[in-house]
Structure 1
Amino acid sequence: MREPETPDAASDYLAPTQIDILLTNFTTAVQTLNVVNYERSFSGPQYRFVPDPTSAGTAASLFANWSVSEERDYLTSLRRRSSASPQNQLTLSGRRDQFFTADSAEVSALYQLRIVQTDTAFKATLLEGNIRLLVRRRNNEWKIAGWRDQRTSTALSWTDLKKYFIRN
């Protein structure tokens, strides 16, 4: 079951005709916890998330068939435990784009994700690591076709956030 879209939900979303626009849509959706626009950033049935192996740990099987629906479900769960006006902040730095063809590339960057939420069992407020997005263009729109998370420090990674909020 989907929540009805708020009238202004679509106003943050631009047709992702360039990789930069896709990343802006993605970043804005993460910061505002806009589940509809977040889901629109991903491409259908072939999408896969590859977790950081250390963070996945004993829950590696949880990520074995992680698809767009799990992306939606974890963000919905996080949204339920966040204020009505989320104050998350996502920063991507050191971005590198590697094109395989005119319609496919890998975007690699370091991320820092500051999250503000109300679930006291999940204590981390800053997640960081390396994000590698496989992006593909179809019908002149770029979408995320794959996502590999990699820890870069002792801080928790995005994998930890997904693991916690898909289960709780």
Structure 2
Amino acid sequence: MPRFSRPLLPAASLLLLAALPACFDLRTPEPANASSEWVSPTSIDLLLTNFATAVQRLNAANYERCFVPRGYRFYPDPAAAGSTNAALFANWGLREELDYFNRLRQRTPAAAQNQLLLSARRDQIYGPDSAEVSAQYLLTLSQTDTAFHYRTMTGNIRLLLRRRNNEWQISAWRDLATGSQPVWTEAKKYFIRN
């Protein structure tokens, strides 16, 4: 049986200690305001507050948390989408939603904030884990892209909500015009492409 000399034992211990930090995966911390604005959406009101705050502050992490991770769909206003954009909106899911949002965020000055006001809200509860919210919205964007001509958009937002693990999330979103004003679909159509 071989015998190890005593000097090898401390050297082996030092190598083991040096390799120990590699056993733990460290992640980059989120910005300080990313999670502090988030409230667990155990009610529809809390979900809508999280959603409005994420839109206003352009907080991509919290915006993403408002949506179901799989199966989310956006249905544009038909007139704003137009027949030439049918393919663009045909399979609009969470990936497209986040791409649009991040491109909008890139064109918004750091100190600027958007404004989102919801009014005339109506809730339809379908069961303990399913509901639909309909409301009028007024969205004001503070972005710098001069090719996008709309600062204010207004329309009707219809959100199909699902509850999972006692938290509400958006599973579908329908945008509808309520007059001749531009609708949210215009912003999504522009910023997903530019």
Does the 8 Å CA contact 1:53/1:60 hold for their aligned counterparts?
no
In 2, Cα distance between the equivalents of 1:81 and 1:4? 24
- How many percent of aligned residue pairs carry the same amino acid? 60
Is 1:47–2:67 an aligned residue pair? no
The question of 1:162 aligning with 2:183 is answered no
2:149 is the alignment partner of 1:123? yes
Q: Which runs of 4+ in 1 moved over 3 A?
A: none
* Structure 2 residue 150 is the aligned partner of structure 1 residue 108: no
Please report how far the alpha carbon of residue 136 of structure 1 lies from its aligned counterpart in structure 2 after TM superposition.
Answer: 0.7
Q: Distance in 2 between matches of 1:110 and 1:4?
A: 36
Of structures 1 and 2, the one with the larger relative CO (CA 8 A, separation 6+) is 1
Pairing of 1:65-76 with structure 2 (within 5 A): 65-76=91-102
Q: TM-score, normalised by structure 2?
A: 0.83
Match for 1:138 among 164, 167, 183? 164
| Corresponding residue for residue 10 of structure 2 | none
Residue pair 1:29, 1:38 contacting (<8 A) in 2 also: yes
Alignment check: 8 A CA contact 1:32 1:85 kept: no
Which residue type is aligned with residue 73 of structure 1?
Answer: D
Alpha-carbon distance in 2 for matches of 1:37, 1:125: 23
Structure 2: segments with no counterpart, 5+ residues? 1-27
* Corresponding residue for residue 11 of structure 1: 36
Aligned residues: 166
| Partner of residue 56, structure 2 | 31
| Aligned-residue offset at 1:155 | 1.2
- Offset at 1:4? 6.9
- Distance, in Å, in 1 between the alignment partners of 2:29 and 2:101 is 15
Asked which structure has the greater CA Rg, the reply is 2
- Contact 1:83 / 1:118 at 8 angstroms: preserved in 2? yes
Q: Identify the residue that residue 106 of structure 2 maps to in structure 1.
A: 80
Mapped partners of 2:112, 2:63: distance in 1: 14
